[in-house]
Structure 1
């Protein structure tokens, strides 16, 4: 990982209806050191965030000019400093009309990876901390939060501008509770949602389930487990699921088998890429439910082995109880008997 360019600006809007305040730092080239460490942590938070959205830049350049400015910078028609001057200026204008209080550091990073280039636009939040000053008096200060990231967008530059570009080169983190500033950030980034994650999750689950049922009975559980493992690993990397890569992972001896099966039995996108929600994909390997004061969760492999469901009586029988659960039940019953 190597940061080519980075710049930050602190923006605040404490009195809605009044001009927002913005203080920009200098544009830095290959800052290294602590900046690399900070960006690495922000990437970890970005990749781990559930519920990300996928899309592309809005075609309304009058309303969302960031993509045009970014393209000019990448084509050496303007400097990174000029690009960020424009970007920060628009952010301040958007916050001028914001009716909610806001403060945060806007950071734009252009990063070169081993085989591609990406850009990140993030809002860094702050946490309060206490310290002793030089006179040993307690003082409150603000520090960058290394555990929260609620507004960010990643731009896959090669997928956007390359000859074989993807239709979904933007990945958005839009946390709950960000309110109007969150909506303004989406407008600043020019993000347009182009992927129905819920639909693609169902497509993924249906394709894997059908393939598992079509496999040898003793290998069905292995298929589900490997599909979930692959999806989880992709989520950790912040990457979608490529059907061709998944197919090879599920069966190294016949790497095309799942791909061919899925193309015939599921409505796959032309790109051959899905963006399933890894939380819902967990249904492949776990059965869970709660309600009426009860919460039950167990591996799907235990059905008809240690967990038995009686459909006629709507009853669940569990054998081989976990040791901790057995001990809790025994203590509870002993207390009731006393």
Structure 2
């Protein structure tokens, strides 16, 4: 079992604030594994993650982590102090929040991680064993609140990137308070890293025969999107190996060779940014009257662009749109 410790506490900050503390750690069982797995899945599916570190040497959370690392605090004591300080910060900012704060230490062969998330319930009704109707509530993973992950090994080494945070449903008013409390500073520009890498992939694809180049670029984007869903890095060498069958056998350079020749300073591994990926997957634009979105694969095929007149010519329209246009034409003629 990869979970070493886990606990949760309830914090309500409203007209009156209450902090309900769980006295002991959770037993390490399958239900706990399932809970953390669902939290991680929801976290990895978020597009708005930020990567960085603690800004202040004497920040609250950083100080607590150092005390825990030196065994001056137990895991349970770490979380209790974390919540007490968070309660004070939210009250001081006159903000409101309600939920359960879950903490878990996870250790695998590769990593030692500290997860922290605000969990919220959704309410409903159910049929019980007696087939009576009664109120019920479960954790709403679709509305996972603020949280993140600390790479404890990287934190101990004071690397530049060891803290990942993400805001969730209903966090907008709290964002400033939570960032200040965590004392977070962004040290990684994932959008810039993704765009630079995809530009070099695009340049390499253009060096291949047209059809092969289009397929290579498509597979590269699919690979990056899949890594994003898994919460994994994109490593240039690994990606080049996975999609090497898209490169014609007579091609002299691999993607790795092309990068070393054209842009050797490029990051060879990076965190994929979902918004940046979408820019390379689709062309989009809208005004008050018109909204257009199409896959980049269609440009030059079913969609032609005339740069002189700045016009698009579209063939093979969606059947539903054709039907609507015919109906509109008949209405106008009538």
Mark yes or no: TM-score above 0.5: yes
Secondary structure of the 1:147 match is helix
Supply the distance in 2 between the matched residues of 1:9 and 1:236 (Cα, whole angstroms).
29
2:102 pairs with 1:107: yes
2:288 pairs with 1:295: no
Structure-1 residue corresponding to 2:328:
332
Superposed displacement of residue 208, structure 1:
1.9
2:14 pairs with 1:14: yes
Asked if the contact 1:241–1:273 (Cα under 8 Å) also holds between the matched residues in 2, the reply is: yes
Supply the distance in 2 between the matched residues of 1:260 and 1:170 (Cα, whole angstroms).
33
Asked if the contact 1:10–1:24 (Cα under 8 Å) also holds between the matched residues in 2, the reply is: yes
Asked if the contact 1:117–1:157 (Cα under 8 Å) also holds between the matched residues in 2, the reply is: yes
Superposed displacement of residue 77, structure 1:
5.0
Asked if the contact 1:109–1:119 (Cα under 8 Å) also holds between the matched residues in 2, the reply is: yes
5+ residue gaps, structure 1, are none
Asked if the contact 1:99–1:180 (Cα under 8 Å) also holds between the matched residues in 2, the reply is: no
Q: TM-score, normalised by structure 2?
A: 0.84
Asked if the contact 2:44–2:228 (Cα under 8 Å) also holds between the matched residues in 1, the reply is: yes
Superposed displacement of residue 306, structure 1:
1.5
Superposed displacement of residue 268, structure 1:
4.8
Secondary structure of the 1:108 match is strand
Supply the distance in 2 between the matched residues of 1:24 and 1:250 (Cα, whole angstroms).
51
Asked if the contact 1:250–1:258 (Cα under 8 Å) also holds between the matched residues in 2, the reply is: no
Structure-2 residue corresponding to 1:124:
119
Superposed displacement of residue 232, structure 1:
0.8
5+ residue gaps, structure 2, are none
Asked if the contact 1:27–1:80 (Cα under 8 Å) also holds between the matched residues in 2, the reply is: no
Asked if the contact 1:98–1:181 (Cα under 8 Å) also holds between the matched residues in 2, the reply is: no
Higher mean Cα deviation, 140-149 or 48-57? 140-149
Higher mean Cα deviation, 178-187 or 300-309? 178-187
2:22 pairs with 1:32: no
Superposed displacement of residue 11, structure 1:
0.9
Residue from 280, 292, 297 that aligns with 2:276: 280
Supply the distance in 2 between the matched residues of 1:295 and 1:239 (Cα, whole angstroms).
33
Distance 1:311 1:42, change over 3 A: same
Structure-1 residue corresponding to 2:182:
189
Q: TM-score, normalised by structure 1?
A: 0.83
RMSD: 3.3
Asked if the contact 2:7–2:25 (Cα under 8 Å) also holds between the matched residues in 1, the reply is: yes
